[in-house]
A and B are shown apart, each in its own frame.
Chain A
């Protein structure tokens, strides 16, 4: 396979869009021959990142577009998510304490933590009034 591939998606800032995006990712995963495990990791990372953006980056409640670029090289898969919402850095949020018993565990705070566990690195940048979240997975 030596070539690199990339694909763009655009989703509106509505949670309902996540289901149709997941279907498109499954089609892409098939085209790129990604393993079921990598496919699920991509779907999960995307859902967690996008749902955070959809819930928190657009207090104006207007329609916004979120741009997604997925790239694949021989050894790495990269997801770049760009939105024009308010400054929102998911990496600055705390990790949940996973040693707590069910009774004490707070119900929120899990999404970004999950991304950090399933992807190999995450970075955030704010450029030209846009949030740019980049997730990498070595494959």
Chain B
């Protein structure tokens, strides 16, 4: 799994590429934590190239959401692949997050 970091306007964007599974989810957790710890409050997780997620990965997303709430910030997800959307839905995670079709929408909405 790779994570590319970018800043656009008020948002920090992490572009996730590959599998967010038990082995790799900690890397994502670390990157998200780094952002919030450094004072960023508005984060976009671009999931366009995330092709797999397991419960470990879902857990990292949930922890990120809790952090965003605690920080009074924003966590936006975008570009989620249909198979991944389905995992979010069957696990009951779909309604926990602000999820947008595109990064542009994630940037322009609150």
Contact A22 B63 (CB under 8 A): no
Q: B residues within 8 A CB of A44?
A: 52, 54, 87
Q: Which residue of A lies closest to B68 (CB)?
A: A102
A18 CA / B54 CA spacing, docked (Å): 12
Residue in A51, A103, A110, A117 whose Cβ sees the most chain B Cβ within 10 Å: A110
A96 CA / B19 CA spacing, docked (Å): 24
Does A10 have its Cβ within 8 Å of any Cβ on chain B? no
Q: How many residues on chain B are close to A (CB under 8 Å)?
A: 22
Interface of A toward B, CB cutoff 8 Å: 15-16, 18-19, 22, 36-37, 40, 43-44, 47-48, 51, 96, 98-99, 101-103, 105, 107-108, 110-111, 113-114, 117-118
Instruction: A113-B91, A114-B87 are known; give 16 further A-B pairs, CB within 8 A.
Output: A15-B22, A15-B23, A18-B21, A19-B23, A22-B19, A22-B21, A44-B54, A48-B55, A98-B91, A99-B92, A102-B69, A102-B97, A103-B69, A110-B58, A110-B91, A117-B91
